[in-house]
Structure formats: structure tokens, C-alpha cells
Amino acid sequence: MRRCVELSAAAVRQQELPFSCVICKDGEIVAEAINRVVQDGDVTRHAEIMAIAAAQKVLGRSDLSDCTIYSNVEPCPMCSFPIRETRIGRVVFAISSPMMGGLSKWNVLGDNEISNVMPQVFGDRPEVSAGLLYGEAAAVWRSWNPIFWLGIRFRGCLAEAPPEGVYRTLQSAAPRRGPFRRLLAFASRGFVRRRAAPAPVQPQAESTAI
């Protein structure tokens, strides 16, 4: 998370909003990113999406269940769906987002139905913790634009500091699936990938019409 805070300050220097993300496996950083919304002129280029894409390339797989994702601000719903689809096992953020958060507001990260109905697509709900290095993360926002920081807190977009800076678990990881459910999900994922593969292009016979 400390690296994540450093990246959020780097984002400001690149004329981006101070959002950042780090993905770790076994205590080592696999991928990291900042927002690239301004630089790329693309509203979908959130830090979490950028980091998840990079982590899949580095590890050579889409299953990131053995990874932890750190964000300086709670992931939004758009970023929370890829977290569920890549089965990331743990989500940690510094600042909660009561208005936009993928757990606090929209509960994408905590929803059990999507993984029960479509286990071949969505992983079980991850463990979610909040408040880690809240003060340091908030200081970057406050330093970047004090008026903007006060305004978004007043509107409830970003949360106040947790009581006494407490770092707390908001949601425990879902219990592991039984062997039959895991086998079914694995087999279904393979079926979906095969069905999604584009059909080979058949060569067209050369026309003899004049």
C-alpha cells in the first residue's frame, strides 16, 4: 500500500487524478499502474483495470486467485467486475468510497449470486479490507487540491478517516467451494473459452463471373 500511495502522487505529476493500484503475489509486486484517463483520453483507463491486464500478462493466466490487489481508493464497479472475473482473492484499499465503491455502494465485490449462478465466469467474493494507510493516501489528495478534497468528502464521494485510523476487514473471503463445484467451474470455463473462440475463416472460391 505504501507503494500504491507513492504511485498516486506520481499520477498527479502526470496530470492525472491521484488513483493508483498495485497487485502482489506472495508478497512481491506483480503489476502496478496509475490512472491513464487523461493521458489516453479514455475514461475506461482506470488504474485497477490497467494493473489487472498487466498482471495477467506477467503471470500468463487469467486466474489471479493467489493475488492481492491494493488501491489507494476503493475500486469502482467497473473495476470490481474484472476483480471478480480474475478471481483475485484479496482486495485492500486506503480510502472508502460510499458513493462510487464496488463494495460500499454497489456491492459487486460482495455479491454471492453472480458466482453461484455463473461460477465459470465469476470467482467467489474476495476478502476486502479498508483503511490501510488512510492518512498517507488522503494526504496526497489534500496536497494535490485541498478544495477538491474537501468538496468530494462533503458530497460523500470519499469517506472520512476510519476511527483512530483503524485498518479493518470489511468482508471475509467466501468459503472455498467443494471439489465438485470447483471441477464444474473449471470445466465450464474451458467450454466457454472454446465457444468464444472465433471460427476459422473459410477461403472463398474464386468467382468465374465476368
Phi, psi of 137 (to 5 degrees): -65, -40
Nearest CA to 92 out of 35, 48, 124, 141 is that of: 48
Given the DSSP bridges, would you call strands 67-73 and 90-95 parallel, antiparallel or unpaired?
A: parallel
Q: What does each C-alpha distance from 57 to 62, 76, 128 come to in angstroms? A: 8, 23, 24
Q: What does each C-alpha distance from 21 to 5, 35, 44, 55, 113 come to in angstroms? A: 9, 9, 15, 11, 27
| pLDDT at res. 202 | 56
| pLDDT at res. 183 | 61
Residue range 146-172: mean pLDDT, rounded: 90
Q: Is the pLDDT of residue 208 over 50?
A: no
Distance of CA 151 to the CA centre of its chain: 25
Of the chain, the percentage scoring pLDDT greater than 70 comes to: 83
Quote the cell numbers at residue 137: 493516501
Residue range 178-187: mean pLDDT, rounded: 58
Give the Cα separation of 113 and 119 in Å (integer).
Answer: 9
Name the band, by pLDDT with cuts 50, 70 and 90, for residue 176: confident
User: Residue 164 has what DSSP assignment?
Assistant: G
| pLDDT at res. 162 | 86
Give the Cα separation of 105 and 98 in Å (integer).
Answer: 6
| pLDDT at res. 129 | 97
Instruction: Tell me the per-residue pLDDT of 47-93, one tens digit each, with 9 for 90 and over.
Output: 999 999 999 999 999 999 999 999 999 999 999 999 999 999 999 99
| pLDDT at res. 175 | 87
Assess contact for 5 and 137: CB atoms under 8 A: yes
Q: Is the pLDDT of residue 204 over 70?
A: no
Q: Is the pLDDT of residue 201 over 90?
A: no
Q: In 3-state terms, what secondary structure has residue 39? A: helix
Name the band, by pLDDT with cuts 50, 70 and 90, for residue 193: low
Q: Which amino acid is at 210?
A: I
| pLDDT at res. 209 | 43
> Biggest alpha carbon distance in the chain?
84
Mean pLDDT score of the chain:
89
Please count the CA atoms within 13 angstroms of the CA of 9 that sit on its side-chain side: 12
| pLDDT at res. 206 | 47
